[in-house]
Structure 1
Amino acid sequence: MSAVTGPPAELAERRDELTPMLQQYVDRCAEHDDALVLFRVGDFYKTFCGIAEEVARLCELTLIEREDSTGTYAAAGIPVDNAAEYIERLLDAGHRVAVADQVEDPSEASGIVERAVTQIITPGTVVDDELLSPDSTYVAAVVGADADTGDAPAYAVASVDVSTGECRVAPAADRAGAREEVARVGPAELISGPGTPEVDPDCPVTDWDDDAFAVDAARATLAEYADPDRFAAVEARAVGGLLAYAEYTQGDDGSLEYVSRVRRYDPADCLRLDAAALRSLELFENRAGGDREGDTLFETVNETVCALGRRRLASWLRRPLVDRAAIEGRLDAVGELSTRTLLREELRDELRAAYDLERLVSRVSRERANARDLRSVARTLSIVPNLKAALADAESDRLGRLRDDLDELRETRELIERAIAADPPQEITEGGVIADGFDEELDEVRSTEREGRAWVADLEQQERERTGIDNLEVGHNQVHGYYIEVTDSHLDSVPDEYRRRQTLKNSERFVTPELRRREDEILGAAERADALEYDVFREVRAEVAEAADRLQGVADDLADLDALLSLSTVAVGPDFCRPTFHDGDEALEIEAGRHPVVARAQAEFVPNDADLPAGGVALITGPNMSGKSTYMRQVGLIAVLAQAGGFVPARSASLPVLDRVFTRVGASDDIAGGQSTFMREMSELTDILHDATEDSLVLLDEVGRGTSTADGLAIARAATEFLHDEVGARTLFATHYHDLTALADEREGVFNLHFTAIRDGDDVTFLHRVDDGPSSSSYGVEVARMAGVPDSVVERSRELVEATDGHERAPAASTAPAATDGAGTADGESEAASDSSTPPGQQTLPGTEPEGAAADGADALAAELRELDLARTTPLEALNRLQELQDRVTDR
């Protein structure tokens, strides 16, 4: 946290000399020394001294000076009515914000008004509508098990959305699993507790009290929300400590009663997608970092009509199913809705009227809901009978269960409709909130007030007739109350019972004993009505809060229905089909598959087939820009969308149920973390080789390009062999190492694919069509020319390519005959092999041939390479052997 938090030193050092208000400010800052305190003074949240300077700078406010008997202090104020905009800036700057509100009525305070921190706002615990997006906002915690006790699992990841009450906890067997689950949750804030591993979250990290994560304290906290015995020790510590933090952020009352369902889940129960897969497949964020609508899978398939459904659809894409029956259940519902157009549109029209019931319930439970919020609850409940009626003849089991589960909560809806005015004001303390006829006592008080106001309304005409003063007026202001105003020209006609109240320039204002009595009666009735309305409203709100659990159940059902409708709306689009699933021993087959995001953005998109047998490895070669990466991603996205329960962009799709999708796509580095692009690539490859199974889908793009040709090709070959021989995962591997294509002759499950192109002189046309066999060229020079590289560079590149054509060779090249249509042709292989002056794995450019190379040394190295049993060599052994051979060449 920033150094500006805590009490300003210049105030804290002389606290006892300060005014009572500043003393209170110092005390609130000391109590919350990890946050920036906004201190309510009138219509502003004030800050002072160094904190004021920081707030003024970040919020672009004018810094003023506050002077009192104890000194002059810098001050900055944020208007209460527009606080959210400024608080958001403070959060973006990395601050936690503690809001110190007035907690007693200034008119009733005997001295200085008491202020207390009512809310601590952090990036992961925002609850105000002005600061929330429609998407889920999670705060998460990762806790490691106590090594001394041998607890299992090793880690636990807990998350809670304070705005909705959604709370989950998952076990993780190791640090990689914990890191993967944090990436899947995508928290806005991560809480660091004891044993928290390095998980590299893309969010702020907050240190929290270790004592809250102690097993006894955490279980005691958790017991307020769920049975702690349902959770392993490390899980209870993670979720209990996190809930304690969430309670702390809600201020003095710390109410989280609406968190009534703490759910434990196993990441293995869904299709696992780590951070690399989420990023590479662009499920929720496009890799370019833009925010253009439709650039992600989520935005492409998001046709939801309410916030509940939007969050549910995102959750389904983050955690696709692995239970085949559950997948088929969703697909049945999506299929039925896609064919019943009238039903689909009727349901969508009804759901458009649904408010964000999850967040409404949380506000009701925290006693922060106003009258309009309650009317929104009632309006949402009012659509439930219509939804149930529309689903009366639904045939799929999933839709039938939704119909039966939807709870009308008739008594809650009727209570709100009877109690709350049809169009209530925003404020709940200023009257007009409770409907007439709901509370007898309130009706009597209101009747008294109305009768008094009616008497006053008639008074003007009566007095004009009685006094003969035709311009006499009856009025009211906040200072003097009710009055009778007479111009100076008619003062002689004023009756004796008039009592002068105020003298103006050209008139006098009077009051009569009866008008004074009526005024007291009206004002007294109004004050009593306002106070009584507030009490009645709180009683109604409390009664609604008692139904919080049932209301959350309705929110769940509405969210599911909207998500299913979204997927069905997408399913009726062109070129979408229902996927079929098999047990996994058959091939992954996609006919005329399309990338769901790219195909929607482009007027013309070339569909492609995919036929990937169990354990098969497809080596994909072809020109740059030909569509290799798009093709691999579209296979991954089709699998993810299908297991989420959606129809997919293809003519047909027969798929296995995958356990994980791994990606190693694109180049990026982590300079702050000390990782180069190549190290980052190797780290991702390591995770794949360790964790992939025969039920996984692996997408590799240009493995080994971050180092020398010899090293890179060796790593790429060894990794490919390992995936084929040891793992058995379905693998798509796009590469420019044409030597790798020879593996298809050595491994039964390895085969070649390539993307086609047509050369016409210096021009190249990419057909974006996948075909069998290896590619004939990478067309790198042509792509460089198309990109605008200077002609002289392009021409020199062509000369070098022509001079070195056929001389490319690497130490891991296959001893089997090479394909005759690739860049490494059979003739080229023979020519390279005969050139003993060229070190293995390196290209010899014109004018750079080594002189007097030691033929005997080259022969010895070649002999050793021929003796290597690559089929039985692990990737690590291959790298170590390669390093040894390279060192010997370097030493010579």
Structure 2
Amino acid sequence: MSAVTGPPAELAERRDELTPMLQQYVDRCEAHDDALVLFRVGDFYKTFCGIAEAVARRCELTLIEREDSTGTYAAAGIPVDNAAEYIERLLKAGHRVAVADQVEDPSETAGIVERAVTQIITPGTVVDDELLSPDSTYVAAVIGADDAEGPEFAVASVDVSTGECRVAPAADRASAQEEVARVGPAELLAGPGAPNIDAPCPTTDWDDDAFAADATRETLASYADSDRFTAVETRAVGGLLAYAEYTQGDDGSLDYVSRIQRYDPADCLRLDAAALRSLELFENRAGGDRDGDTLFETINETVCALGRRRLASWLRRPLVDRRAIERRLDAVADLSARTLLREELRDRLSAAYDLERLVSRVSRERANARDLRSVAQTLAIVPDLKDALADADADRLQALREDLDELRKVRSLIETAIAEDPPQEITEGGVIRDGFHDELDEVRGTEREGREWVADLEQQERERTGIDNLEVGHNQVHGYYIEVTDSHLDSVPEEYRRRQTLKNSERFVTPELRRREDEILGAAERADALEYDVFREVRAEVAEATDRLQGLADDLADLDALLSLSTVAVGPDFCRPAFHDGDDSLEIEAGRHPVVARTQAEFVPNDADLPAGSVGLITGPNMSGKSTYMRQVGLICVLAQAGGFVPAKSASLTVLDRVFTRVGASDDIAGGQSTFMREMSELTGILHDATEDSLVLLDEVGRGTSTADGLAIARAATEFLHDEIGARTMFATHYHDLTALAGERERVFNLHFTAIRDGEDVTFLHRVDEGPSSSSYGVEVARMAGVPDSVVERSRALVEEGETEANSDPATDSVPTPTKAATDGAGVEAEEAGAGSEPQTPPGQQTLPDIDPNDDTDADVSDEITAELRELDLARTTPLEALNRLQELQDRVSR
């Protein structure tokens, strides 16, 4: 980026020889040497020399040569009317863009037109509609504390387009990293003492002096009382706001940032970057942008931009206060039960404009007349919303109804002052209504009378001169004229003065027409100037209501987000979650993955039961649904704590403090981390930070190293989660040896995903059941994926060879005692049959029911089972396969 910022060397070296315009360009480049300066020249933003070459290449523009008395220079121009498209390309290429606009009227300036940088556009500080998405666009800052007191770091964020500003403490690097991931900024400032943050956005090194204690207190004084914040928080948010001011150009006004929120990350369900990524809350792991591939897009039924951003915020920060969760759920339940109310509210809210961004433009004095009309049209829906909510039962809805501010004076001012359909430009007239301003009406009257006189002139002159084809017209160059064809020139009166000669006619002017023209033009200019001043006064009066307008925007956003959740809640597979104390079990009946179930017509629902402190070990074939199952449990918990109904027949949940995930395999080459190292780093964070109120979802821990090392790590981590932390844990694994932990740890249990093998074919049932799985069916999955037959057959032979060697080893010759969890799914009947007989079956060992030798049916079954047992090749049967085989035989006997 440095190669195309700052003044071009070939210009800077010859500054004194340059024309005044190029000297001004060099000055602006030097003043903003960290940005690419777009210099307004007429209808284009120009760049020169090496910078022009880079801009032309990245924006696919034609490179031209500019020649003047001092030489010839390469130049590239971006059309002012279509600048947003090219600026977006430059931002994506990693540049900041400084826009140097003309701040003087060229027609009124004798010398060089003055230009000033009116805006510095960075990925995190865009405010123009053409560059903004409907979602929040944050710039964030992370800094470290100067001393050991208080939190070690602080994270601040601001959305310059709306004025939303937050700051939070962070106890350590991991907490700072987590909060940055939660914010999801488009740009990150690395302040003094900032830790190394892995951010998926450009990182900007901002001036350290802007984060100094004295400077930040002074900056923050314009926005909030600094006593509300700790020293490190003051420095973080103060330095961030200084940067935001810098990007707004020479005026740097951010008056609308008036409600800076300090919050503790522990006050919401904490989701780190790994959880956000693997649960696919906002981005699918494949990196695509298909609609419905994320939880947010699946539940997003909002009808205005305000609600869309609020719903996203609720998903990023689900609640941990049970009372607040229930209040939100009450509102969703009330709305979901009232179809007519819900549809009426949605219909009204669909007419709401983006009030947050409109207010920011009004405050920055960048709003035009259409923006003000949009504010008024949004205010116009408020009375109807309040009327519709009058019969709502939920406390949250009634509170919203009371809070909805109609701002009647603001609405009346705009509707009285601003034309119903005003032009885009505010300096060319037609903005202010007749009757609003007496002086303006008088000036307009003078202009109108003059134009009416001109309109009547044509007929008067035709009658007076006898020239029947005489015409009165006007153009921008010559003004008003009387046009007479050559065939009637003999009839032209003496007082006519020739103004222009055409091919077949002449144009004239009279003294009275000239006087009227001056009168009309003078009145028009005065009217335009006066109208602009009146508009600015109206806009300033609206800006005085910024706080109230922002409060209304908050309420509209909440209402739209609640409506979105209620619209989703009326689906046939959704229910209201019930919350209980943390010591109870987390139970989900017929749970569904909200995203996958929406795209697959034959989705198989599954139950989940996680008692406090339990660890569920999940085994089964690849592609059977283990990861989907775990994610659906996590998503149901997140959605419930955000205040939404969940995709299940029933859900009895506990309030979680965090959701951890260790899912998927990826490396970080740039960061120097292999797949296994990254896996271990994520596991480290879980083992350090999880609590008994957390939900931990693990998928294949220990897979990136040797089998012995991986199994050891997986077992030790499982034991630690069970013994030391007590977090509810779901662990999907292909290490079948881990299933033995169910017999060694009280709260460890086994689950498996079922499959049916028919020869070489395997059918996945995607159904979870108790007990361990007998196989991962890896070779079969490889064959289904299209691996060459020779490789598949060799793989199968190697598997069989390995199992034969294992079964012939004296150390593995005897079948290990199955765990209680294993027999829960495979030998319940065996336990019941042996409970009252002697000698009793050893704990966990399966037995076949007694067979009556006098029963012919029993005898037939006995003969069949005896034959199958004789044919069973124990040397080629693993212990788990033997257990499953015994289960099948027992089921047949029972039937």
- TM norm structure 2: 0.91
The structure-2 alpha-carbon separation of the partners of 1:169 and 1:816, relative to structure 1 and needing over 3 Å to count, comes to farther
Report matched runs for 1:82-481 at 5 Å: 82-146=82-146, 149-481=147-479
Q: Secondary structure at the match of 2:653?
A: strand
Report matched runs for 1:354-753 at 5 Å: 354-753=352-751
Distance in 2, matches of 1:746 and 1:207, equals: 53
Amino acid at match of 1:708: S
How far 1:805 moved relative to its partner?
Answer: 1.9
* Contact 1:775 1:821 (C-alpha < 8 Å) held by counterparts: no
Q: Secondary structure at the match of 2:2?
A: coil
How far 1:2 moved relative to its partner?
Answer: 2.7
* Contact 1:774 1:821 (C-alpha < 8 Å) held by counterparts: no
Distance in 1, matches of 2:483 and 2:108, equals: 33
Distance in 1, matches of 2:797 and 2:6, equals: 68
Amino acid at match of 2:257: V
* Contact 1:170 1:265 (C-alpha < 8 Å) held by counterparts: yes
Amino acid at match of 2:298: T
Amino acid at match of 1:301: I
How far 1:351 moved relative to its partner?
Answer: 0.3
> Who is 2:884 aligned against?
none
Q: Secondary structure at the match of 2:677?
A: helix
How far 1:807 moved relative to its partner?
Answer: 5.1
> Who is 1:874 aligned against?
none
Amino acid at match of 2:708: A
* Contact 1:151 1:234 (C-alpha < 8 Å) held by counterparts: no
Distance in 1, matches of 2:509 and 2:347, equals: 58
Q: Secondary structure at the match of 1:65?
A: strand
Q: Secondary structure at the match of 2:46?
A: strand
Q: State, as a whole percentage, how many aligned pairs show the same letter.
A: 88
Distance in 2, matches of 1:584 and 1:272, equals: 17
Report matched runs for 1:739-818 at 5 Å: 739-805=737-803, 817-818=817-818
Amino acid at match of 2:669: I
Amino acid at match of 2:655: V
Amino acid at match of 1:682: M
The structure-2 alpha-carbon separation of the partners of 1:64 and 1:710, relative to structure 1 and needing over 3 Å to count, comes to same
Q: Which runs of 5+ in 2 are unaligned?
A: 828-874, 876-895
Amino acid at match of 1:35: A
* Contact 1:184 1:274 (C-alpha < 8 Å) held by counterparts: yes
How far 1:497 moved relative to its partner?
Answer: 1.1
How far 1:808 moved relative to its partner?
Answer: 5.7
Q: Secondary structure at the match of 1:391?
A: helix
> Who is 1:14 aligned against?
14
Deviation string, structure 1 residues 486-541 (Cα, Å, up to 9, x no partner): 01110111111111111111111100111111111110111011000100000000
Distance in 1, matches of 2:160 and 2:558, equals: 20
> Who is 2:45 aligned against?
45
Amino acid at match of 2:143: V
Distance in 1, matches of 2:128 and 2:755, equals: 55
Amino acid at match of 2:492: V
Distance in 2, matches of 1:802 and 1:39, equals: 74
Amino acid at match of 2:65: E
How far 1:108 moved relative to its partner?
Answer: 2.0
Q: Which runs of 5+ in 1 are unaligned?
A: 826-845, 847-892
* Contact 1:739 1:818 (C-alpha < 8 Å) held by counterparts: no
Distance in 1, matches of 2:407 and 2:516, equals: 45
Amino acid at match of 2:26: V
> Who is 1:854 aligned against?
none
Distance in 1, matches of 2:177 and 2:796, equals: 46
> Who is 1:860 aligned against?
none
Q: Secondary structure at the match of 1:766?
A: strand
* Contact 1:467 1:493 (C-alpha < 8 Å) held by counterparts: yes
Amino acid at match of 2:775: S
Amino acid at match of 2:96: R
How far 1:391 moved relative to its partner?
Answer: 0.5
* Contact 1:746 1:816 (C-alpha < 8 Å) held by counterparts: no
How far 1:229 moved relative to its partner?
Answer: 0.6
> Who is 1:56 aligned against?
56
Q: Secondary structure at the match of 1:363?
A: helix
Report matched runs for 1:862-873 at 5 Å: none
Q: Secondary structure at the match of 2:750?
A: strand
How far 1:395 moved relative to its partner?
Answer: 1.0
Q: Secondary structure at the match of 1:95?
A: coil
Q: Secondary structure at the match of 1:634?
A: helix
Deviation string, structure 1 residues 185-235 (Cα, Å, up to 9, x no partner): 000000111011101100001111111101111011011100001000000
How far 1:816 moved relative to its partner?
Answer: 6.5
Distance in 2, matches of 1:611 and 1:550, equals: 47
The structure-2 alpha-carbon separation of the partners of 1:115 and 1:260, relative to structure 1 and needing over 3 Å to count, comes to same
Distance in 2, matches of 1:161 and 1:83, equals: 22
RMSD over aligned CA atoms reads 1.8
Amino acid at match of 1:30: E
How far 1:110 moved relative to its partner?
Answer: 3.2
* Contact 1:700 1:733 (C-alpha < 8 Å) held by counterparts: yes
* Contact 1:4 1:51 (C-alpha < 8 Å) held by counterparts: yes
Amino acid at match of 2:21: M
Distance in 2, matches of 1:664 and 1:696, equals: 14
Distance in 2, matches of 1:659 and 1:637, equals: 14
Q: Secondary structure at the match of 1:533?
A: helix
How far 1:255 moved relative to its partner?
Answer: 0.2
Distance in 1, matches of 2:271 and 2:356, equals: 27
Q: Secondary structure at the match of 2:370?
A: helix
* Contact 1:745 1:816 (C-alpha < 8 Å) held by counterparts: no
* Contact 1:119 1:251 (C-alpha < 8 Å) held by counterparts: yes
How far 1:542 moved relative to its partner?
Answer: 0.4
> Who is 1:850 aligned against?
none
Distance in 1, matches of 2:624 and 2:297, equals: 25
Distance in 1, matches of 2:249 and 2:404, equals: 34
Distance in 2, matches of 1:752 and 1:807, equals: 27
Distance in 1, matches of 2:375 and 2:381, equals: 11
Q: Secondary structure at the match of 1:466?
A: helix
* Contact 1:2 1:95 (C-alpha < 8 Å) held by counterparts: no
How far 1:451 moved relative to its partner?
Answer: 1.0
Amino acid at match of 1:31: A
Q: Secondary structure at the match of 2:155?
A: strand
Q: Secondary structure at the match of 1:801?
A: helix
Amino acid at match of 2:245: E
Distance in 1, matches of 2:69 and 2:205, equals: 39
How far 1:4 moved relative to its partner?
Answer: 1.3
Distance in 2, matches of 1:3 and 1:232, equals: 40
Distance in 2, matches of 1:66 and 1:797, equals: 70
Q: Secondary structure at the match of 1:392?
A: helix
Distance in 1, matches of 2:549 and 2:387, equals: 19
Distance in 2, matches of 1:403 and 1:816, equals: 66
Distance in 1, matches of 2:816 and 2:693, equals: 30
Q: Secondary structure at the match of 2:567?
A: helix
Q: 776-785 vs 606-615, which deviates more?
A: 776-785
> Who is 2:869 aligned against?
none
Amino acid at match of 2:3: A
Distance in 2, matches of 1:802 and 1:487, equals: 107
